[in-house]
């Protein structure tokens, strides 16, 4: 058996198409044009590429795009002041401050400065708390994308055993909460888990989000399981030329594909879903801020 590939690129295109349709409906029915503000500090090459992609896709979806490129010498106080300015701007429904930030700026201080209802990354402690308690907050984009792919592929997830590898606030913890809400039995594994392979072997759903290249081996995967690989690791590839790299996930793909029923590739799996869900969250935020039901389009 060879696993069926979950095509994140194709699925994300459908989500962006729906977002564009929702944006048109919001404008036509309610006179609202959702706006997303993206703030980047410094000139990190990878972050710049990622931000440019977000800006492009925001405009393509018919939304207002606000872009602020700030120097890496900016003080924490001035960055927080910029966030407060965007909080007060009615044209802006979603605020995203691109991480990582320079070492002299506390990321938590900046994230907590964002108004929770405009926190389209879903990182604010209030949104984290709402997710943990089953409330209605903004959900982090990457885990949301993973969940949408799982539900599209498997349908009802109730009763399935899921193992999430990695306990970050950005992916692992919110992913576990989302799967709990879908009535999965969830194990949140991490670097101190004693028998990681044994835990993974029991799982119907494996979400790997630990940032270690090909940590999860093929023989860890139960026959017929579904594997979502969030990892994006850049590994030196001298065979491609000096300084060249290749991208790998947290799962040994070729091996795992022999046991899994469904698997996401790297690249082309989870990655495209993150920006698509960012756009989706911005529409959700615009609806809620206008007092509309998320589906009232």
CB 155 within 8 A of CB 149: no
Instruction: Give the separation between CA 155 and CA 150, rounded to whole angstroms.
Output: 7
Distance, in Å, from the CA atom of 49 to the CA atom of 5, rounded to the nearest integer, reads: 26
Q: Which of 54, 118, 173, 222 is catalytic?
A: 54
Is 22 labeled as catalytic in the residue annotation? Answer: no
Tokens of 137: 């907050």
275 Cβ partners below 8 Å, 6+ apart? Answer: 12, 53, 54, 57, 141
Among the listed residues 121, 204, 229, 250, the single catalytic one is 121
Q: Which of 22, 57, 82, 98 is catalytic?
A: 98
> Scanning the structure block, which residue is given the tokens 């201080």?
109
Question: Given phi > 0 = left and psi -120 to 50 = alpha, else beta, which region is 243?
Answer: left
3-class secondary-structure state, position 234: strand
Distance CA 38, CA 296 (A): 26
* Secondary structure class of 70 (helix, strand, coil): strand
* Cα 204 from Cα 182, distance rounded (Å): 14
- Torsion angles phi and psi, residue 161, rounded to 5: -90, 120
With residue 248 as reference, give the H or E element that holds it.
Answer: strand 245-248
Q: Is 181 a catalytic residue?
A: no
Nearest in space to 287 (alpha carbons), one of 17, 130, 63:
63
How do beta strands 245-248 and 233-236 pair? antiparallel
- Cα 215 from Cα 217, distance rounded (Å): 6
98 is catalytic: yes
Q: Encoding tokens for residue 146?
A: 């993973």
Catalytic annotation, residues: 54, 98, 121
């Amino acid at each position: 058996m060879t696993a069926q590939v979950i095509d994140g690129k194709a699925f994300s295109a459908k989500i962006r198409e729906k977002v564009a349709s929702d944006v048109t409906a919001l404008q036509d029915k309610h006179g609202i044009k959702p706006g997303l503000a993206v703030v980047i500090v410094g000139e990190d090459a990878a972050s710049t590429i990622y931000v440019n992609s977000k800006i492009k896709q925001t405009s393509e979806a018919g939304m207002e795009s606000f872009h602020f490129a700030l120097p890496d010498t900016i003080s924490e106080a001035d960055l927080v002041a910029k966030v407060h300015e965007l909080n007060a701007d009615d044209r802006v429904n979603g605020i995203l401050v691109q991480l990582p930030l320079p070492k002299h700026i506390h990321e938590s201080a900046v994230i907590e400065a964002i108004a929770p209802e405009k926190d389209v990354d879903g990182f604010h402690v209030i949104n984290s708390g709402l997710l943990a308690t089953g409330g209605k907050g903004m959900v982090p984009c990457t885990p949301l994308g993973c969940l949408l792919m799982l539900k599209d592929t498997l349908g009802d997830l109730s009763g399935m055993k899921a193992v999430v590898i990695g306990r970050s606030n950005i992916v692992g913890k919110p992913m576990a909460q989302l799967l709990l809400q879908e009535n999965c039995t969830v194990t949140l594994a991490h670097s101190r888990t004693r028998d990681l392979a044994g835990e993974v072997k029991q799982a119907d759903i494996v979400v790997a989000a630990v940032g270690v290249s090909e940590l999860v081996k093929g023989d860890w995967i139960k026959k017929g399981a579904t594997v979502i690989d969030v990892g994006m690791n850049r590994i030196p590839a001298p065979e491609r030329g000096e300084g060249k790299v290749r991208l790998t996930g947290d799962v040994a793909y070729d091996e795992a594909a022999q046991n899994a029923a469904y698997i996401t590739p790297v690249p082309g799996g989870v990655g495209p879903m993150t920006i698509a869900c960012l756009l989706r969250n911005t529409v959700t935020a615009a609806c809620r801020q206008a007092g509309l039901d998320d589906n009232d389009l």
